[in-house]
Amino acid sequence: MSNKAQVIINESWCKGCEICVDICPRDVLIMEDFVAKVDDIDQCTGCMMCELLCPDFAIVVHPPEKKKKSVTE
């Protein structure tokens, strides 16, 4: 069980387009040697934007597990 997000980057698939770095709303990702890298995973909300927008399917996001909350409608 993890309440922290995980972002896994397949470096051999990354072509260094920087899209993920640009769209991440929390500045989790950086470029290093023309490859995307996770810089600050603690800021990641697990929004999945980077995974969805990576043209090379090089990113897999495991969002944090949600705490069970009572639903109020």
The residue (of 61 and 68) whose beta carbon lies closer to ligand SF4 is 61
Applying the rule CB under 6 A, the residues between 34 and 63 that interact with ligand SF4 are 36, 44-50, 54, 56, 58-59, 61
Beta carbon of residue 37, minimum distance to ligand SF4 (angstroms, whole number)? 9
The residue (of 48 and 68) whose beta carbon lies closer to ligand SF4 is 48
Does 30 bind ligand SF4 (CB under 6 A)? Our answer is: no
Q: DSSP string spanning the chain?
A: --SS-EEEE-TTT-----HHHHH-TT--EEEETTEEEES-GGG-----HHHHH-TT--EEEEPPPPPP-----
